[in-house]
A and B are shown apart, each in its own frame.
Chain A
């Protein structure tokens, strides 16, 4: 049988042991809670990091696509400005070349309009008449001639060189603006225009080539 003091000491020991266990339990509860809290925060931090990295990657990708398109836009803008200018300047050059060619052709026309002054004029007209008559190929051709400032008397003399049956008509002034010869068959079904204007039209490409070659070295 324990004495009272001994009983009290034993009770005190039990009480202390219980108290310690109880404290341990409390600590364990709090420790578990803290552990769980720490995990929650760590998870949130990891997720936050992931979110930020994903957002950065997405933004980078979006920015790269945006800039790739911007580079294309910039190149398109550059080409638009340049091509518009180059086109305008090319047009200026073409207009100037055309103006120069037209000016030279006008010079040719001026010279042709007073061609009757040159030596050998009648020989040249005879040749033009022969070409026209040959081209028409009719026995009874009608040959019209007309040049600026050419004497009708001189032109009348051409009739003696015409084939038999052909008829010469000397026009007052220039035929077809610049002068020349037009031959027709008797029924007017075949006509050969050997005027200077018609020759210039027929020689259009060659004239352009010759003029460009001389003036522009092309």
Chain B
């Protein structure tokens, strides 16, 4: 191999080496870009899950509150019926006692 050939070979090898490094740089960039995308996707997944959980929480809270509200309605209806019954049974006695009080002054 002549000296010129040797220089040529070295230049070629250097070029090959630069290619290897450039490819590695491109690959690194791809890795980082993909990682960035994957991270964003993962973040969005976590947030979407949290949003879904929020909806579930609100929905469950509404259902529970409505069930309790319905129970409050039932309890109130029962209490109103009790009042009515008490009124029917004790109206005369109450009128009598109130009348006594007014007459007594």
Q: Please give the residue numbers on chain A whose beta carbons come within 8 Å of chain B beta carbons, in ascending order.
A: 18-19, 22, 25-26, 29-30, 32-34, 36-38, 40-41, 43-45, 47-49, 51-52, 54-56, 58-60, 62-63, 66-67, 70-71, 73-75, 77-82, 85-86, 89, 92-93, 96-97, 100, 103-105, 107-108, 111-112, 115, 124, 128, 131, 194, 196, 199-200, 203, 206-207, 210-211, 214-217
Contacts and interface: CB of A to CB of B under 8 A. Distances in A.
A66 B50 contact: yes
Contact of A30 (B20, B23, B93): B20
Interface in B1-47: 1, 6, 9-10, 13-14, 16-18, 20-21, 23-25, 27-29, 31-32, 34-36, 38-40, 42-43, 46-47
Nearest to A49: B35
B46 A216 contact: no
A44 B68 contact: no
Classify chain B: how many residues form its interface, as a range. 35 or more
Interface string B66-105: 1011001101100110011011001101110111011101
Contact of A71 (B46, B57, B95): B57
Nearest to B68: A82
A59 B46 CA distance: 6
A75 B18 contact: no
A96 B61 contact: no
A85 B76 CA distance: 10
A69 to B, nearest CB: 8
Interface of A is mostly: helix
Given A66-B54, A216-B83, A108 B99 contact: yes
A20 to B, nearest CB: 12
A51 B39 contact: yes
Contacts, number: 203
B28 A41 contact: yes
Given A77-B65, A82-B68, A124-B103, A55 B43 contact: yes
B58 A70 contact: yes
Contact of B43 (A49, A58, A82, A194): A58
A211 B98 contact: yes
B99 A112 contact: yes
A80 B61 CA distance: 11
